Structure 1
Amino acid sequence: MLTASSSRRILAIWCTRLAIDRWRLLEGLAEGEGADAAPLALIAETAHGPRIVSVNAAGFAAGAKGGMMLADARTLCPALTVAPADPAGDLLFLEDLAVWAQRWGPWSALDPPDGVIVDVTGATHLFGGEAGLLADAHAALARRQLMVRLAIAPTAGAAWALAHHGPQDAILHPADDPAYRLGHLPVAALRLDDDTITLLKRLGLKRLEDLRGVHRDALVRRFRNRRSAAANPLIRMDQLLGLVPEPLLPVMATEAPMVQRRLMEPIRHRSLLDRVLADLTADMARALEGQALGARRLELGLWKVDNEVVVRRLEIAAPSRDPVHLAGLFGRKLEDVDAGFGIEMVRLRAAWTEPLALAQRDLESSAENHGTSLAACVDRLTVRLGSDAVRRPIARASHVPERAQRWQAPLDPEKTAQAEFEFHARPLKLLERPEPIAVIYETPDGLPKRFRWRNAAHDVLRAEGPERIAPEWWRERSTARLRDYYRIEDEQGRRYWIYRSGVWGDGRGGTPEWFLQGLWG
């Protein structure tokens, strides 16, 4: 983890139209050429209908803007054409760009969704100074057909502010006063969320220099409950001025192991494809073994004669390089593949790997070969049922029943140490959410005598309790009420776990409420 301090020189690269530029590159078009000359918008489906993510220059000139509903944009620009947005592809493109940008500095970091931060400290003299570095960056990015705005400043926050809201190729020198030089910029230059920006404007704080005119204690009182940096202008202002460090996570270039087969003749039959897949998994196993790695995620690409590419992805529960196991899992994902006129190239890539040391073969290895190990069983269930259907419960340090466990991947290690609690008896079945019930009792704090649940009345024959559980003050609001749990049995021998939320006169609400949370037996 690295931090940006006032002694650093940070280059901010803002790709002003990243999604559109990437779409244009995929289509093989130059700017303003062919389909790019017509109004175009990239859209994403939302609960209220298609929403515009990005528009090209022609669409923007016609009135369409990012964030606008597609129906509203088409009233302004009936000729607007659309294409689906690809946020995951844009992020992958940005990651590759961040690695490529390390030609200007020793490390770089992502500034999602459309920016890159590069530490150029001590490297500017290689380009004839900071102005020369900016000129070189502009030329290199122009060759990649990307529209960008650049800035250099002592901190990532100041560089971001100048790139987004300052003049083109702005440079904030170490001797400059950032509070004075950046005072004319809007409060949006602090990288705040929309709600916080709206609140500041309602308070009459529209520029950074306006914040300097307000006593800091007043802003602390207003925003003391906002822990996120994007919602707290004080944190962002201190980061911009270099008064507090801002953590930046460098992007590290990694080379994913990959093997492929170019076939002399296109194949159309499944048996031949299975043979090629077996060869590829054996090659991948040797490549992974040479690096002491095991695969967690694999991507299989099939290049067809008609230029169509079919991709199948596989994620396994534990690192593995067993070729028989991997080929068997992929076999189930190829059942719906249509070879068409034939497949002429097959490529296997390990997109996610983890260390897997060499080990002497033992009983567990033998079990894996026969498909009976736990990891192999989990992988087969995941392929059949889906990753969300295979989970295991993990205990959590909480006395509140619905918080006493969480779900995680079957073989993932527990990320935090769990405390040991001596719980009272808990029912075998807990409802996903406690259900309200109506209870009759002799005294306000006495045992329940009768209750109604799901339109049926139950007379309480036996009752035991209460077991009192106090609210978790560090997680809940101060108005949260304590709970008194009772184990009860009705006249037909059915046993329930109910609780009363709150007590009379606790000052945290009105009449206590009753809920049923679990069933015994």
Structure 2
Amino acid sequence: MTGRRIVSISLPRLAIESWLSRAAKRGDDWPETVPLALSVPGTHGPVIHAVNRAAEEAGARIGARAVDSRAICPALRIEQAEPEQDAARLARLAFWARRWGPWSTPDGDDGILIDTTGTAHLFGGEAAMLARIQAHFARAGLTAKLALAPTRGTAWALARFGPERAICTDPLPALAPLPVAGLRLSDETQLLLRRLGLKTIGDLAAIPRLSLMRRFARADAQDNPLIRLDQALGRAAEPLDAPEPAPEFAAEARLAEPVVDPSDWLPELLERLCAQLAAADRGCRRLCLSVFRIDGERRDIRVSMAAPTREAAHLLRLFDGRLERLDPGYGFDLIRLAAEAVEPLTAAQPGLDGAAPSGLALARLVDRLAARFGPTAISRPLPHESHIPERAEIPGPPLAAIPAPPARADRPIRLLSPAEEIRVLYVIPEGPPAQFIWRRQTLRVARHAGPERIAPEWWRDRPGTRLRDYFRIEDDTGLRLWIYREGLIHDGRGGAPRWFLHGIFA
């Protein structure tokens, strides 16, 4: 038996309580004295999926046909269940429950599992932690029954059939008096065990295994009482579906009273997180600020960086204007800041004037622009395999890890799209025009360099596409342009050559 500690939370009234909560938000209040049931489609008509306490006292039972339940209780109100919304809320609650442990996951349709190994001392011990968990769920309007045990199976059984807030260290004595339903078996298998006189888990554990192995040899592993018993006792491993791993670098603030604005705690959280990153020579590329509301909801704000960094002042600026978008509800009492993407980052030597290393200024500018206007509002050029200038680069995300293509000295940074045709007044033989008109301006060429011939891509361009001769020119005012001649005289691919202005040098 390992030292693992698992908390199982049973939410037996999740469906009805979540439905009532959504109805209240729509302005539809249901008195507790009115019998209410939720139904789902069944083989022979709608069946009862969930009931409130008034309907339960009136005789309505989960799994019964809706028409039979209404015959027993004529005052019963039946509404359509919303299992998809219930599942979505359970997933949010499971993620919200990570305040008590680094790992949590939904367990079926009405339960949550939390791995609290090594965390109970942060909450005053295991008993105090269970009481706090139950109080938080009650504050969120949910009835919760929970238990803590070394294995998932034992915790599941105690949470549903054991005493209130049970704490177990030795599974077998705790499971012995519980019914065989505590082993998570199907109704058919439970009925078969009861017919054999095995009503409790203790009765099942006392039976010689050989005889039971013969009877359940063909049973599925999820419905084999011997396998389930071994899993509950810790004799057999039970794989758990793990969500994403807990962040390696995180800082959090637990608040004594709910608040609605995390701004006052964010600088300290960033300092602590950056100190962790510095100790490991790491920098973050993506941060997630999470606030856990007291009603069981969680809100996240994510920011991304163009280059890994651990400068707290720069990271703080990325949250400017974004905290106001948080919906605090009735307030939140836990704030967590986690580095979701980290990369190696060694210390950089600043310049003699104290300035940051070259290259960081552009990355920080991209960070601020993306944080304010969104990551899709700006882009950066990415290299593309083509020798045609307008195809040699494609727009990419500004925070891409692919480095930007190096700038060529003989190519302008700014290209016109599409290239603009110019009207030539006089042309130097085999050279650029000596004078031309562009945008109603007459420009006279003072200097030129070229030509640079670029042939069409025959595997992509249509037949008849003409080659280009590019020239770098400068007029008498110092304006430097990139122009090209499309086609040659008597090349058999059209009439006279045409001239275009394609780029402007800085």
TM-score scaled to structure 1, two decimals?
Answer: 0.47
